[in-house]
């Protein structure tokens, strides 16, 4: 199946974010990087806000596709343990810089957090549920460990070697109630 122009634009935008940060996402930079005209970009994304919302949506949907594959089905069709396992597996690798920057950017506007919140609500317990029972408390600690694996290499100069990361993922998975 051919990739649509809209998907091509989003892929190039993610590449810009990976290389230069969210602030690099301008119509001028995107036109240069994609080879499309500025008016062609504006046809698909009438404003920078719509472009950023498109990137957030694109990335949140990509993560949900990973979650579905890891869990063996959509959130509503799998157990809580399978959902949590999928979260650990998908977040066990180091976050690509673009994903981390967009996760931080999501807090800058309610529109940007909406696609992420939709995925979170389907797959994750809420912080308020963390104290509902010993099981939900343990499950929320597993989520926090997955967050740590996902961000580790961006926060620390010494990165996790792959075999250490794999062992840590297995240890976190063993904690799933």
10-residue block means of pLDDT along the chain (177 residues)? Answer: 83 97 96 94 96 97 97 97 97 92 96 97 93 94 96 94 97 96
Q: Look up the pTM and report it.
A: 0.92
Q: Would you state the pLDDT for residue 1?
A: 55
Classify domain 59-174 at the CATH superfamily level. Tetracycline Repressor, domain 2 (1.10.357.10)
DSSP state of 77: G
Q: Would you state the pLDDT for residue 3?
A: 66
SS3 of 156, please?
A: coil
Q: Would you state the pLDDT for residue 173?
A: 98
Residues of the chain with CATH 1.10.357.10: 59-174
Please tell me the CATH code under which domain 1-46 is placed. Answer: 1.10.10.60
Distance CA 177, CA 142 (A): 9
Contact between 86 and 140 (Cβ < 8 Å): no
Distance CA 75, CA 122 (A): 6
Contact between 58 and 17 (Cβ < 8 Å): no
Tokens of 158: 């010494």
What is the Cα Rg of the chain in Å? 18
Contacts of 47 (CB under 8 A, 6+ apart): none
Residues of the chain with CATH 1.10.10.60: 1-46
């Amino acid at each position: 199946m051919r990739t649509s122009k809209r998907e091509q634009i989003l892929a190039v935008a993610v590449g810009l974010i990976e290389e230069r940060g969210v602030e690099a996402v301008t119509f001028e930079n995107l036109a240069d990087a994609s080879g499309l005209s500025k008016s062609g970009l504006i046809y698909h994304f009438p404003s920078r806000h719509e472009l950023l919302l498109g990137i957030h949506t694109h990335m949140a949907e990509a993560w949900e596709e990973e979650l579905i594959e890891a869990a063996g089905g959509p959130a509503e069709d799998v157990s809580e343990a399978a959902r949590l396992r999928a979260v650990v597996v998908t977040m066990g690798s180091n976050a690509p810089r673009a994903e981390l920057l967009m996760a931080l950017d999501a807090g800058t506007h309610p529109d940007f957090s909406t696609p992420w919140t939709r995925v979170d609500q389907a797959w994750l317990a809420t912080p308020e549920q963390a104290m509902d029972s010993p099981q939900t408390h343990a499950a929320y600690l597993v989520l926090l460990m997955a967050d740590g694996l996902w961000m580790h290499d961006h926060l620390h100069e010494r990165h996790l070697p792959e075999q250490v990361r794999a062992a840590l993922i297995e240890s976190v998975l063993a904690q799933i109630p």
